[in-house]
Amino acid sequence: MSLFGQFPESGTLAVPKKYDPFANDVRTWKIDGRYGVADTLEIDSVIRSHQDNRPDNNYSIANSWNGNLGSPMESKVFFDRYYDSRHLLRHKSENMFSSAYEAYTILPEDMQYYDSHHPFAQFAYRTAFPINREEDYVKALFTMNANKFISYGGLCNFIYGRGQYKNQSSNMINGGFWFRYTGKPYEMNISVMFNDYKNRENGGIEDNSYVLAAKDIEAINMPINFDGAQSKYRDYCYHLNHRYRIGRYVEDSISADSTRVYYQPIVVLAHQFRAEDVKRHYIETAMPQNYYETYNYSETATHDSTAYWTITNTISATLDESFNKKAKFGLSAFIEYEVRHFGVGYRGSEDTATVMNETLHNLCVGAIWSKNQGKFIKYNFNGKVYLAGERTGNFDVNGDLKGFIPFKMKRDTVNKNGLEISAGASFSRTSPDRLYYRYYSNHYAWDNSNFRNPLTLDIRGRVGLTVAEQELEFGVNFRNVTDYTYLNEVALPAQYDGNIQVLAFDAKINLKAWLFHLDTRAVYQITSNRNVLPLPDVALYSNFYFMHSFFKKVLTLQLGVSVRYHTLYYANVYVPALGQFALQKEQEIGNYPEMNVYLNFHVKTIRFFVQYYNFNKGLFGGSNYLSMSHYPINPGTFQMGFSWNFWN
């Protein structure tokens, strides 16, 4: 996988001239929303460290959450909140409640399209014990081609975590359906995505001393702050991207006596339609005692309701990069019109009311100058500005440059060895989340019409070296934010009057000596204001393991131990009524090594693992296994699971 994922391959994936329905070949990619450009990906068939392939670990190496899969989450690594593992900007739904579910949510921009000469399916299951508190995670995918032009498929993920602590169960189902048509002049991609989350809320354990003092009490018996509360969040998204390539057929000489004829695009016209429908409910049938300070509409029951929907249409034109043989670069421009609606209300014990009901319109234009083809140098410079609507004056300007120097190695058959270098910067002015301006619920209400639009400057750089299965990657990220917005210690939106800087250095080091491997990712963070933006100085993930293949490489075995660790700091705390994370100064979190021992097997297309999670609890490493104040991670638990790819 490329170190610099911000440079997608231009155009659609090539379809073989001769269609063979029995060929063992599956390709997958994502689609850029505005321009319909395909970004190639890899099939999930990685042999090593399969036990770590779950949403929380894929999201970040350090997270704030209640330890139960499917629960709301915030990364403790600042730039992981904005960039994914390929260093691409995360796709976000534009409402404040979506951020806590980003580790799980699948949006159209995250959808993987498949091109397969035969039906392809994948089924995965994992669970955690004991039986009456298990945590089940099921993934199922199916895709096939009707012919070389048409493919379709579906994906479904299901999580049901009963929770190791009282009243913290999670129930999640998400996925979607997709359809693809690829012809020479015309192509189309359609996806329908659904995300549905239900979480029982307990406010955490009553007293942190149950964990910090290492009291001999089982997790299920620890007193909690309240019961009878639950939150529901759902996000449905509908996406259509189609484009028409205006071009000509070109005859090209292959050798002295042979030629080939191919379709050469000149200008690509594209249209995108995107609709998103979001709802969030927070319900209390038994009111928490001594937890919330405010009851705005009822002291006997709570039913907060928020709705958000948006419809976006984008039209773009692109000068195809491959058209100009002498100066290979692409030019694109777009115009985008969006309609957004926000609704806030409640259903009390005596009345029902709608507090906020507004519809907003925005007009945006933008352009890209890029070079995405070639082996050695690629670049992408883009920008957009809002010309009309409530976002008038907002803008975003980005630039990225990448270079690659290959190294020839004897056993390098796919040209992966080499040195990659990239640098980038962005400058933007964006409005705060609309609900940060105005919101009303039973326990929280605010009106911040005087909030200013934050100004953000990002500077980033990366260097990656791959030589003979040894990988070294180093990165630096800097952000300066003027008028940073956040939730303060009483969980109300606030805006810092001034500048806040975050500087982060990260390293990814994968080493191998004989049959032993050490995979490490470390992040060092500096924040200019710990009172407003607290972060741990160091976050670390390290995985030491033995891996070897047996029986003529039919069976691959991996045996190892992994650790996750971060330094002590005042981590943000989860606020159930808002589904958000707010500042707190009650308890420092960290300096605890979360350690797991595991065994992986890989036999042909089946991967299987067994793992004992947090095995060091009570043995060594201290007792501060809190993920955030009042929310400890799960105690030592036995986990197992498998994944099976069906290629025919």
Domain boundaries in the chain?
26-646
Q: What is the mean pLDDT of the chain?
A: 90
Using an 8 Å Cβ cutoff, are 230 and 70 in contact?
A: no
**Residue 22: per-residue pLDDT:** 39
CATH classification code of 26-646: 2.40.170.20
pLDDT of 100 higher than 60: yes
Secondary structure (3-state) at 498: coil
Question: Cα–Cα–Cα angle for 331, 336, 338, nearest 5°?
Answer: 160
User: What number of CA atoms fall less than 13 Å from residue 27's CA on the CB side?
Assistant: 13
Say how many C-beta atoms besides its own lie within 10 A of residue 538's C-beta: 15
Strand residue runs (E) in 430-489: 438-440, 445-447, 455-467, 470-482, 485-487
pLDDT of 21 higher than 50: no
**Residue 14: per-residue pLDDT:** 32
**Residue 90: per-residue pLDDT:** 79
**Residue 89: per-residue pLDDT:** 81
Question: Cα–Cα–Cα angle for 131, 135, 138, nearest 5°?
Answer: 120
| Residue 13 per-residue DSSP state | P
**Residue 528: per-residue pLDDT:** 98
Task: Find residue 142's DSSP bridge partners.
Answer: 121, 154
If one compares 281 and 253, the residue with the highest pLDDT of the two is: 281
Assign 23 a pLDDT band (cuts: 50, 70, 90): very low
Average pLDDT (417-427) is 95
pLDDT of 5 higher than 50: no
